[in-house]
Amino acid sequence: MTLIIIFAGMLALVFLGVPILLAIASVSLTGVMVIPGLVPALMPQKAFAMLDSFSLLALPYFILAGAIMTRGGLSAGLIQFSQTIVGHIRGSLGHTAVLSCTAMANISGSSSAEAAAVGSVVIPPMKENGYRPGYAAAVVAAASTIGPIIPPSMTMIIYGSITGVSIGGLFVAGVFPGLMIAVLLMALIYGMSYLPAYPELRHTLPRASLRQILNATIKVWPALLAPVVIMGGILGGVFTATEAGVVACVYSLAVSMIWYRILRWRDLPGVLVDAAITTAMVAGVLAMAGVLGWLLSYLNFNDEVLGALKGITESRLLMLLLLTAIMLFLTMMLDGLAVVVVMVPTIVYVGTAFHIDQLQLGIIMVMITQIGGLTPPVALLLFITSSIAKIPFSEGVRAVWPFLGVLLFALLLVILVPSIATWLPYQVLKP
């Protein structure tokens, strides 16, 4: 009964419009105060314990690196490069959005940051070329989900720090699923260009010459080299995933100030403040969700869930599908980061009991948080792109369903074919 009251109270607060941080904190504090044997002093202790992790040190550094690269002009350069590569293909501006998000995934690691950065540059020309605003918003929102799947990824860092799963292994495991989603989205856009309902997708740009491609590549090669530096260092044992965040900051600062010469010393205070605000918001949610997670563990939530699910099925595949359905529902209603911190310990506990590979499970959870961010009623990513497109949220919702179907299909493939996520890390890292 106590567990039901906790979840019902949190959902009620969220639907009343209370920010997720305050909703989790309120429910956690109430639980600590009313459950016999617990005292309010436990709350700050458990919040600090949640943040007291060496792995989480990577979080502010990658956030800062993304802020530096975005302010330093790398996002605009990558979008121009993407348009040069795919501009001649039917649905060219849609392909540009997908390819830009795929390239930026090596920098930002945040889907909301990608949706804002790519959407602000790509959506206006899409509208000017006859693309329906709702379609433009849906394309960018769907493509931005690639950000946390291709490394580096804030969600993977948080997942790894909570569960003890190798963050470097998660980074490598996300490469194939992320690229697969990009290919499937581009295939969908290309296929839709042949439908009578989408005549605007038939508009293409002249095919770029080899010289134009080389010139575009020269302009953005430092950005394209970023994942090689970061992932190469991790896989080569030069530095850990946490230390890679520091390397990413130094690299992004050098590229933005020396190569592009867009970022100036006077811009750094603003960049640092933006990154600090984002880090504080993430850390606040992590801390309070950590308290709630501990409270659920104290109430034997893990064992309760495992016992209930075992009563439904003993099949590994059916259990994985059931866990996926539960997480999809939760991420549709609540902030994905909070859901990860609160629910992942339980999900991993159940997954371990059913011998589900931890890397596969990690990638599935990351994909679910992004799909949840695209799915109504909340759909934060679609809300961001609809705001940029200056359309009602409902118009974006009407256009997003084909793209949501593609993402769910990609998720199902990772569930049914674990090697999509696990083959590369086990080949490279030999855990």
User: In order along the chain (431 residues), what is the average pLDDT of each group of 10 residues?
Assistant: 75 78 87 85 88 82 81 74 85 89 77 83 86 92 92 86 87 93 95 88 81 84 79 78 83 83 85 87 86 86 85 89 91 82 88 92 94 86 90 91 96 96 84 49
Q: Structure pTM?
A: 0.88
Instruction: Give me the half-sphere count of Cα atoms (radius 13 Å) on the Cβ side of residue 70.
Output: 30
Phi and psi angles of residue 104, each rounded to the nearest 5 degrees, phi first: -70, -20
What's the confidence (pLDDT) of residue 41? 86
What's the confidence (pLDDT) of residue 202? 82
What's the confidence (pLDDT) of residue 430? 62
Of the candidates 399, 342, 398, which has an alpha carbon nearest to the alpha carbon of residue 369? 342
Per the structure, the count of domains in the chain is: 1
What's the confidence (pLDDT) of residue 184? 97
What's the confidence (pLDDT) of residue 412? 96
What's the confidence (pLDDT) of residue 405? 95
What's the confidence (pLDDT) of residue 166? 86
- CB-based contacts of 314, cutoff 8 Å, min separation 6: none
How far CA 295 is from CA of 34, 135, 284, in Å, comes to 12, 43, 17
Please tell me what DSSP assigns to residue 201.
G
Rounded distance between C-alpha atoms, residue 287 and residue 61, angstroms: 18
What's the confidence (pLDDT) of residue 108? 66
The token duo for 113 is: 């940051």
Q: Considering Cα of 8, then 11, then 12, then 13, what sign does the dihedral take?
A: positive
What's the confidence (pLDDT) of residue 103? 82
What's the confidence (pLDDT) of residue 416? 95
What's the confidence (pLDDT) of residue 1? 63
Domain extent for 216: 2-428
